[in-house]
Amino acid sequence: MQLDHRIPSGPLTEKWDRFRFETKLVNPANKRKFDIIVVGTGLAGASASATLGELGYNVKTFCIQDSPRRAHSIAAQGGINAAKNYPNDGDSIWRLFYDTVKGGDFRAREANVYRLAQISNQIIDQCVAQGVPFAREYGGLLTNRSFGGAQVSRTFYARGQTGQQLLLGAYSALMRQVKAGKVTLFPRSEMMDLVVIDGQARGIVTRNLITGAIESHTAHAVVLATGGYGNAYYLSTNAMASNVTATWRAYKRGACFANPCFVQIHPTCIPVHGTYQSKLTLMSESLRNDGRVWVPSKKGDQRRPAEIPESERDFYLEKKYPSFGNLVPRDVASRNAKEQCDAGKGVGETGLAVYLDFADAIKRLGEESIRRKYGNLFHMYEKITGQDPIKEPMTIYPAVHYTMGGLWVDYHLMSTVPGLYVLGEANFSDHGANRLGASALMQGLADGYFVLPATIGAHFATATLPKIDTNHVAFTEAKKTVHERIQTLLSINGKRTADDFHRELGHLLWDHCGMARNEAGLKKALHNLPELKKKFWSDLKVTGSGAELNQTLERAGRVADFIEFAEIMILDALAREESCGCHFREESQTEEHEAKRQDDTFSHVSAWQYQGEGQTPLLHKEPLVFDNVKLSQRSYK
Amino acid sequence: MSLINLTLRIWRQSGPEAQGAFHTYESGPISTSMSFLEMLDVLNERLILSGEEAVAFDHDCREGICGMCGSVVNGKPHGPEQKTTLCQLHMRHFKDGDTLVIEPFRSRAFKLVKDLIVDRSAFDAIIAEGGYVSVNTGGTPDANTIPIPNPTAEQALDAAECIGCGACVAACPNASAMLFVGAKVSHLSLLPQGQPERNQRALAMVKKMDKLGFGNCGNEKRCEKACPKGISISNIARLNREFMKAVLFSNEK
C-alpha cells in the first residue's frame, strides 16, 4: 500500500485556495442525494454535522451520551488560538503555522498546519456570529491571553470554559439542522463496527445503548470524530466514556493508525490521591501565565510551602528556560516535573507533585484580579482537594491528556479506507509529536466547519457509489460478529471487573509507555500484554444482559479494545528510536536531558496497517518534507 | 483523609415500565477524598462481583461541565453542596454513619430510563426550536466588527454557563424548565447577534417547553438554589419580559 497524502502542489500559502478551486464540486441539487454518517458530536463532529446539513447533505449523527452537548470537548478550559493579531504583538498566519510546527517538534505536515493557521481566523468570526461570549476588553473588543509555546497573545477564551462555549455554539448550529430536518440524531448509540463494501466505507453498525439493539446504518461516506485514546491509560483527563473503539474498529477494517505512541501528558493536573480514583482533573495551562512552578531546593523537604523561604525554592522552569519560563510547551514542562520528583524533590502526600504558586501574581495584580481570571479553576481545585490556591500554592502533576496520534488521513482528511473521513483528535494530522495549548479546539472546529465540508464533495463527485441497503451481506456479517462478541463478554463469568483489568492496563502503559520510554521497558510491556488479554477473556465478569441498558457491558467492550490497541501504541514507541515532542526515548537525549530528534532516520509519519488477528501490523512510513521551515532542535531557553 | 461508612438507599428500577423501589446497601469503608460518583463506582464493583447488576447512573466528564450526571441526594438535586455537580461532590462533606437516599431526577418531562438515569432529550427539543443564532458556516463578518460592552458579554456568559443537567427541573415543585429556557433566551437576547430572532426565539422555546409537559414558574427559587452553575433566577424574569414583549409588540406568532 502506498500512502498518498494528496497535498496540492504549489507554494504553501496557495495550496488551500488551489485545492478548493481544483476540486470537483457537487451541484447543490445533488447534495441531498448523499447520506453522510458522522460519529461523535464534539467540536469536530457537531460542527461538521451542522455544516454538512447546511450545505444540503443528509446527515445521520451519532453520539454515546444522552445529548450531543455532552461530548468531552465541553471540558476544554483555556482557549482557542487564532492568528488575528488583534493585540498587534507581531502575530501572523505564518507565525501560528511556525509555532505549531515547531511545537509539534517537526513531526507534522507543513501543508496541513498552514491550512489550519489560515482557517483559524474564520473560526473566531464564525463563533462570534453564533453568539459565543468570548472575553472582551472594556471597549467592547475581543481580548487575548498567552499560552505555552508562543510569545504572542493569540488565545481567545471564555473564562475557564472555552470548550463549553464553543461546543454549545456548534451544538446549537447542529440542533438548528435537526429542526430543519437535515440532520437525524442518534443519541445513546455506540459505533461497534465500520462497514466497508467494495473497498468503500458505506455504513456502520451500532448498539442502541437503551435497548441493546444492534442496528445497521448505510451512507455514502462515514465521518469519525470520536476523539482520542488517552483512556487507554485508565487515569487521564478524558471523560469516562471516551474510548478507542470506533477508530480501533475502523483500523481493523483497513484504516491505518498513525503515530499511536504520541500521547500528550499535560503538566498541570491535580495529583493522584487514591487507588479508587476514576479520573484526573486538568487545571488549565493558562494558569501558568500567572502561576510560578517550584519545588523545594532540598530533597525530601517536609515543611509546608509557606515555611520555605524564597531562597530555598527552586523555580526550575524559570531557571532552566529563561526566555519561556513557566510557559514552555507541555511536554517540556511535564518532563521537568517528573525529573524533579524522580530526584526526590516532589511535594504532597505522595511526593509526586510540584507547586504552582500564585502568591507573586496576587501581590502584583491583587487577589480580585486573579480570582476574576481563574475563579472557576480555583473553585474546581478547592472542590476536589479542599484547599484554596489563593492561600496555599496548588499542587500539580502531569497526567495523560490528549493524543496526537490517530487514524492516518490525507490532505482531504480521508483515511486509507476510501469514503472514511476522520476529524479532530481522532486523526493524527496537525499536531506532530506535541500539541500546543489552545490548538485542539482550533483543529476540531477547522476540520468540522471548514475542511471536511470542502473536501468531502470530491469523493462524491469522483467515486462510484452503487445503491446499497442494510441487507447487504457486509452488514449482516458485521452485525453477527458484534452480536457474538457481546455474547462472549457476557458468558465468561469470571472473577474480575472490566475496571480492574483497565487499571492493570493503565499501570502497564504508564510505567513503560508513559512520560519516558526505553527499549527494555517497552519490550517488557509488549511481553506482558498477551497475558493480560488472555486473563481478560477468561476471567472477566459482566452482569446483566445484552438486550437492555447495561453500562457494565459497555465498559467491558471498550476495555477489550483498549487492550488490543495498546499493542500498536507500544510497537510504535519501540519503532521510533528517537525522542521527539511528547515521545521521550531515554536512549535519545541531549547532554542536558532534552529530547533529541533524529531527523535523518525518523522524519516520517508511522502508519500501522492491520494484518489480521495475531499478526504483527505492517508499518508504513510517510516521509515528512519541510520546504518552508528550517528544522532545529527545539529550544525554549 | 479518613474512612467513613454510610448506609445507601438507592432507587432501583429496571426499566421505564418496571416497578421501582429503594434498595439498601452498606457502603463499606469510603475514603473522604473520594468523589460521590467514585463512591458509587466502589459500590458497583462490589455488586458486579457478587453477581448483582450495577446501579445505572449517568456521568461522563466528572469535572462538573458536561451536565450528564445528577441524582437527588437526601432530597437535593446534586446533593447538599451549593454550586456543585454530583461528580464534584466529595465524600468529606458526609459523616460516618450517615444515611444517603439517592434517587433520579423526577419530572413528567424526564422519563425514567433505568435506576438513576432519566431521559432529558426534552432539553434538546427545546433548543432545536430556537436556541441558536441562524447563521450558516462561512461568510461571517470579522469578529471585532461589533463591539460588545464587557459587562454585557459577561452577563451573557453568566447565562450561557448552563450545563443542561436538569437539576432545576428536578428541584421545582412544578417541574418547570424556566431556568433552563431563561438561561438560553437571556444569553442570546443580551447579545447583538441574537437580536434578529429575539421575539421568535422566546415564543417558540416557551411553546415547546409547555408542550413537553414542563410546568410554569411559581417563584419558589428552588431551581436557582439547586443549579450547580449558579444560574440566576433573574434569567426567568428576563424570559418573562422577552416573552411578553414578543406577544404584545411583535408580529411573530
CB contact under 8 A, B143 and A128: yes
Burial of A511 (0-12, 13-18, 19+ CB in 10 A): exposed
Average pLDDT of the residues in A535-544: 98
Sign of dihedral through CA atoms A26, A32, A33, A35? positive
Residues in contact with A311: Cβ distance below 8 Å, sequence separation at least 6, in sequence order:
none
pLDDT for B55-77, tens place per residue?
Answer: 999 999 999 999 999 999 999 99
Q: Which residue has the cell 486473563?
A: A535
Q: What is the pLDDT of residue A637?
A: 83
Residues 193-222 of B with CB under 8 A from A: 193-194
Contact in structure between A225 and A423 (CB atoms under 8 Å): yes
Confidence of residue A160 (pLDDT cuts 50, 70, 90): confident
pLDDT for A351-402, tens place per residue?
Answer: 999 999 999 999 999 999 999 888 888 988 998 999 999 999 999 999 999 9
Separation CA A307–CA A312 (nearest Å): 10
Q: What is the pLDDT of residue A150?
A: 86
Residue among A16, A208, A240, A550 with most chain B CBs within 10 A, to mutate: A240
Confidence of residue B89 (pLDDT cuts 50, 70, 90): very high
Average pLDDT of the residues in B167-184: 98
Residues in chain B: 253
Q: Which of A202, A292, A330, A634 is catalytic?
A: A330
Q: Report helix, strand or coil for A201.
A: strand
For the ranges A129-143, A590-604, B220-234, the lowest mean pLDDT is seen at A590-604
Q: How far apart are the first and last CA of chain A?
A: 42
Beta strands of A107-213 (E only): which ranges? 145-146, 153-156, 183-186, 189-197, 200-208
Q: Report helix, strand or coil for B35.
A: strand
Average pLDDT of the residues in A12-39: 96
pLDDT at B1 exceeding the cut of 70: no
- Least Cα distance to B6 among B46, B36, B50, B48 occurs for B36
The set of cell numbers assigned to A299 is: 530533597
Residues 164-193 of B with CB under 8 A from A: 164, 187-188, 191, 193
pLDDT for A449-505, tens place per residue?
Answer: 999 999 999 999 999 999 999 999 999 999 999 999 999 999 999 999 999 999 999
pLDDT at B210 exceeding the cut of 90: yes
CB contact under 8 A, A133 and B163: no
Q: How far apart are the first and last CA of chain B?
A: 59
Residues 166-205 of A with CB under 8 A from B: 168, 171-173, 175-176, 178-179, 185, 187
Alpha carbon separation from A455 to A47, A52, A549 (Å, rounded): 15, 11, 38
Confidence of residue A436 (pLDDT cuts 50, 70, 90): very high
Q: Report helix, strand or coil for A277.
A: coil
Which chain A residues are within 8 Å of B131, Cβ to Cβ? 172, 175
The mean predicted confidence, pLDDT, of chain B is 97
Separation CA A612–CA A633 (nearest Å): 39
Residues 59-98 of B with CB under 8 A from A: 59-68, 83-84, 88, 90, 92
Residue in chain B nearest A185 by alpha carbon: B124
The ranges of chain A annotated as CATH 1.20.58.100 are 473-594
The ranges of chain A annotated as CATH 3.90.700.10 are 267-401
Among candidates B49, B62, B64 on the partner chain, residue whose Cβ is nearest the Cβ of A240: B62
* Domains, chain B, with CATH or none: 3-111 (3.10.20.30), 121-249 (1.10.1060.10)
- Least Cα distance to A402 among A378, A376, A438 occurs for A438
Give the H/E segment covering residue A80: strand A80-81
Alpha carbon separation from B44 to A10, A256, B49, B87, B187 (Å, rounded): 59, 37, 9, 16, 39
Average pLDDT of the residues in B245-249: 96
Residues 488-507 of A with CB under 8 A from B: 495, 497, 499-500
Q: What is the pLDDT of residue A286?
A: 84
ipTM score here?
0.98
Q: Tell how strand A420-422 and strand A221-224 pair up.
A: parallel
pLDDT for A60-87, tens place per residue?
Answer: 999 999 999 999 999 998 899 999 999 9
Residues in contact with A505: Cβ distance below 8 Å, sequence separation at least 6, in sequence order:
A232, A234, A532, A559, A562, A563, A566
Separation CA A587–CA A601 (nearest Å): 15
Q: Which residue has the cell 457486509?
A: A474
The mean predicted confidence, pLDDT, of chain A is 96
Tally of CB atoms within 10 A around A481 = 14
| CATH architecture assigned to A267-401 | Alpha-Beta Complex (3.90)
The set of cell numbers assigned to A229 is: 485514546
Q: Check if A330 is active-site.
A: yes
Among candidates A86, A135, A541 on the partner chain, residue whose Cβ is nearest the Cβ of B49: A541
Q: What value, to the nearest 5°, has the Cα angle with vertex A618 and ends A45 and A452?
A: 20
Alpha carbon separation from B191 to A352, B141, B184 (Å, rounded): 45, 15, 11
Which chain A residues are within 8 Å of B201, Cβ to Cβ? none
- Least Cα distance to A165 among B160, B17, B155 occurs for B160
Instruction: Tell me the pTM.
Output: 0.97
The set of cell numbers assigned to A549 is: 441498558
Report the CATH fold assignment for A473-594. Methane Monooxygenase Hydroxylase; Chain G, domain 1 (1.20.58)
Residue in chain A nearest B55 by alpha carbon: A551
Rg (CA), chain B: 20
Separation CA B67–CA B76 (nearest Å): 16
CB contact under 8 A, A127 and B143: yes
Q: Tell how strand A183-186 and strand A58-62 pair up.
A: parallel
- Least Cα distance to A489 among A548, A535, A537 occurs for A537
Phi and psi angles of residue A511, each rounded to the nearest 5 degrees, phi first: -70, -35
Q: What is the dihedral of CA B131, B134, B138, B143, to 10 degrees?
A: -70
Sign of dihedral through CA atoms A290, A387, A333, B63? negative
Residues facing A619 on adjacent strands: A608
The set of cell numbers assigned to A283 is: 487545571
CB contact under 8 A, A278 and B150: no
Phi and psi angles of residue B93, each rounded to the nearest 5 degrees, phi first: -85, 0
Separation CA A358–CA A389 (nearest Å): 7
Separation CA B229–CA A379 (nearest Å): 11
pLDDT at A109 exceeding the cut of 90: yes
pLDDT at B253 exceeding the cut of 80: no
pLDDT at A1 exceeding the cut of 90: no
Q: What is the pLDDT of residue A380?
A: 87
Q: What is the dihedral of CA B62, B63, B66, B72, to 10 degrees?
A: 60
Contact in structure between A63 and A40 (CB atoms under 8 Å): yes
Q: What percent of chain A has pLDDT over 90?
A: 91
Separation CA B17–CA B8 (nearest Å): 24
Average pLDDT of the residues in A245-257: 98
Give the H/E segment covering residue A61: strand A58-62
Among candidates A72, A126, A187 on the partner chain, residue whose Cβ is nearest the Cβ of B140: A126
